[in-house]
Structure 1
Amino acid sequence: MGAQNSTPQEAPKEKKLKPCCACPETKKLRDACIIEKGEENCKDLIEAHRECMRKHGFKV
């Protein structure tokens, strides 16, 4: 039997950001607006959050 390592070697990766943790500033503003004014009145903040998410590599 060989002394081969059974776990694959992974190249060091950049820390992956989870969607829930990305863009907290735009998320907070978006959520507060939706709660207070309703989704239909917060289109600009919703789009700003989506744009921020896209910049972090999320497909929204």
Structure 2
Amino acid sequence: MGNSSSAPPTPPEETKCSSSQKLGVKSGKKICCCCPETKKARDACILAKGEEDSECKRLIELHKECLRGEGFDVK
């Protein structure tokens, strides 16, 4: 049956981080580690409603603004 001592799966955002990624000018963090609040809200919305939903589009823009505030060049 199942092994209860197995490690939980690695969250996707941790697998995306690599040492070769650009660091934020203001925070010194990798882009995958910046703006966790807006990232979480954006991801939850996209999973529930889809990327084209108007509320999700607003959350996507808020996350981009946060990343720009950290010094990333996000289009």
| Fold-level similarity (TM above 0.5) | yes
Segments ≥4 residues shifted beyond 3 Å: none
Cα shift at 1:16: 1.4
**C-alpha distance in 1 between matches for 2:48 and 2:41:** 11
- Say which SS state the counterpart of residue 31 (structure 2) adopts: coil
Cα shift at 1:24: 0.0
Alignment RMSD (CA, Å)? 1.4
Q: What TM-score results when the alignment is normalised by the length of structure 2? A: 0.60
Q: Is 2:68 aligned against 1:51?
A: no
- Contact kept in structure 1, 2:41 and 2:59, CA below 8 Å: yes
Which sections of structure 2, spanning at least 5 residues, go unmatched? 1-25
Larger Rg, first or second structure (1 or 2): 1
Q: Is 2:39 aligned against 1:27?
A: yes
- Say which SS state the counterpart of residue 62 (structure 2) adopts: helix
Q: Percent identity?
A: 64
Equivalences, count: 47
Which sections of structure 1, spanning at least 5 residues, go unmatched? 1-13
Q: What TM-score results when the alignment is normalised by the length of structure 1? A: 0.74
